[in-house]
Chain A
Amino acid sequence: MSSKSKSNAWKTFKQNKTLVIMSLPAIVFFFIFSYIPMPGIYIAFTDYRYDLGIFKSPFVGFENFRFLIESGDLLRLVRNTVLYNIAFILVGNIFQIFLALLLNEINNRTYRKITQSFMLLPHFISYVLVGLFVYNVMNYDYGLLNILLKKMGLNPIPTYSNPDIWPYVLIAVNLWKNAGYGSIIYFATLTSVDPEIIESAMIDGASHVQKIRYILLPLLRPTFVILLLFSLGGILRGDFGLFYNVVGATNALLYEKTDIIETFVFRSLVNDFNFSMASAVSFFQSVFGFFLVVFTNWLVKKIEPDYALF
Chain B
Amino acid sequence: MERIEKSASYKMSASDINLKILAYAVVGIFTLICLIPFVVMTSSSFNLESDIIKNGYCLFPRKFSLLAYKVIFSAPDRLIGSYILTICNTLLGTTIGLFLISMTGYVLQRPDYAYRNAISFYIYFTTLFSGGLVPYYLLITRGLHLKDNYLVLLIPGLMNPWLIILMKNFMKSIPHEITESAKIDGAGDFTIFIKLILPLAKPALATVGLFLALGYWNEWFNGMLFLSTTMKYKPLQLYLYEIITKADMLRNTPASKYIPPQNLPTETAKLATAVIATGPIVLAYPFVQRYFIKGITIGAVKG
Contacts and interface: CB of A to CB of B under 8 A. Distances in A.
Given A37-B135, A118-B35, A99 B27 contact: yes
A270 B113 CA distance: 44
A111 to B, nearest CB: 7
B293 interface: yes
B85 interface: no
Interface in B1-52: 1-9, 11-13, 15-16, 19-20, 22-24, 26-28, 30-31, 33-35, 37-38, 40-41, 44, 52
Contact of B16 (A18, A121, A143, A208): A208
B175 interface: no
Interface stretch (A70-78, A86-94, A126-134): A126-134
Contacts of A114: 31
B129 A119 contact: no
Nearest to A114: B31
A148 B50 CA distance: 18
Chain B contact surface mostly: helix
A279 B289 contact: no
A155 interface: no
Interface in A206-232: 207-209, 226
Given A136-B57, A198-B4, A202-B4, A30 B31 contact: no
A283 interface: yes
B220 A278 contact: no
B31 A282 contact: no
B227 interface: no
A35 B11 CA distance: 62
B4 A126 contact: no
B56 interface: yes
B16 A207 contact: yes
A147 B55 contact: yes
Contacts of A115: 27-28, 30-31
A162 interface: no
B133 to A, nearest CB: 5
A159 to B, nearest CB: 14
B125 to A, nearest CB: 8
Nearest to B19: A208
Given A141-B53, A208-B19, A41 B189 contact: no
Interface in A1-56: 12-13, 15-16, 18-23, 25-27, 29-30, 32-41, 43, 54
Query: Which bracket fits the contact residues of A?
Result: 35 or more
Interface in A267-310: 269-270, 275, 278-279, 282-283, 285-286, 289-290, 293-294, 307, 309-310
A36 B57 contact: no
Given A22-B189, A37-B130, A118-B35, A309 B124 contact: yes
A199 interface: yes
B297 A18 contact: no
A185 B218 CA distance: 23
B271 A132 contact: yes
A148 to B, nearest CB: 8
A33 B41 contact: no
Interface of A: 12-13, 15-16, 18-23, 25-27, 29-30, 32-41, 43, 54, 98-99, 102-107, 109, 111-112, 114-122, 124-129, 131-133, 135-136, 141-144, 147, 176, 179-181, 184-185, 188-189, 191-192, 195, 198-199, 202-203, 205, 207-209, 226, 240-241, 245, 249, 265-266, 269-270, 275, 278-279, 282-283, 285-286, 289-290, 293-294, 307, 309-310
11 contacts: A34-B131, A35-B126, A99-B27, A102-B26, A106-B23, A106-B24, A107-B6, A116-B293, A126-B218, A195-B4, A265-B134
Interface of B: 1-9, 11-13, 15-16, 19-20, 22-24, 26-28, 30-31, 33-35, 37-38, 40-41, 44, 52-57, 100, 103-104, 106-108, 110, 113-115, 119, 121-124, 126, 128-139, 143-144, 156, 158-159, 161, 164, 188-190, 193, 214, 217-218, 220-221, 225, 237-238, 240-241, 244-245, 267, 270-271, 274, 277-278, 281-282, 285-286, 289, 292-293, 296-297, 300-301, 303
